[in-house]
Amino acid sequence: MAGRFISFEGIDGSGKSTQARRLAQALSDLGHSVVLTREPGGSAGAEEIRRLVLEGETDRWSAETEILLFTAARRDHLEKTIRPALARGDIVISDRFADSTRIFQGITRGDLTQTVDSLHALMIGVEPDLTILIDLDPAEGLARATARAGKEMRFEDMGLAFQTLARAGFLDLAKRHDRFRVIDGARIPDLVAEDVLGAALAGAMAR
């Protein structure tokens, strides 16, 4: 498991943060050094960018400007948090990574896939070893996300059609890349967590 990079993806409210936290706890209980982090954010500079992109009106930024902002945040996160942790041999668990940009900026508001992929190749260039996609019906996800509503609602405010496109996009991405494991998020957290830990441990054995 040493030096492994695991990301969690899914629509808003799918239960990623809950499951990322639980996996981090389970792996540290097994004696591993774990760094639990998140995007946008995960380093001081990236957390500042987080506020810019998640708060305010839905039309505050175009999809193109968002690609630049999320990628800038990711570059700082990679330099300051992810690379040093992997170099120490820690397991890095990130609540979202580049697949979120591929989906939320790349396909939900027109096809910007090429732009996202080019900028990723130029500025980031790494993928997780394992990506856990927590799959959930978008109406259920929005209901959960709205129930805990705070200031960071810019993407939730884009609505059900937006989250529906995002869910389909994530499932399609998962089909095309071996690093994905798709886990049904419409169950009690304990059952979801069991599958998540199973996927993380199976991935490590296969290496």
Phi then psi for residue 5, to 5 deg, are -115, 115
Of positions 145, 165, 173, 199, contacts ligand TYD by CB under 6 A: 145
Does residue 101 interact with ligand ADP by CB under 6 A? no
Does residue 194 interact with ligand ADP by CB under 6 A? no
Of positions 9, 12, 39, 76, contacts ligand ADP by CB under 6 A: 12
Q: In angstroms, rounded to a whole number, what is the distance separating the alpha carbons of residues 120 and 124?
A: 5
- Residue among 199, 181, 6 nearest 91 (CA): 6
Cβ–Cβ < 8 Å for 2, 91: yes
Region of residue 149 (phi > 0: left; psi between -120 and 50: alpha; otherwise: beta): beta
Residue whose structure tokens are 């500042």:
48
Does residue 101 interact with ligand TYD by CB under 6 A? yes
3-class secondary structure, 136: coil
> Could you tell me which stretch among 19-27, 75-83, 101-109, 184-192 binds ligand TYD (CB under 6 A)?
101-109
Residues that bind ligand ADP (CB under 6 A): 10, 12-18, 144-145, 148, 185, 188-189, 192
Residues that bind ligand TYD (CB under 6 A): 12-13, 17, 39-40, 54, 70, 95-96, 100-101, 104-105, 145, 155
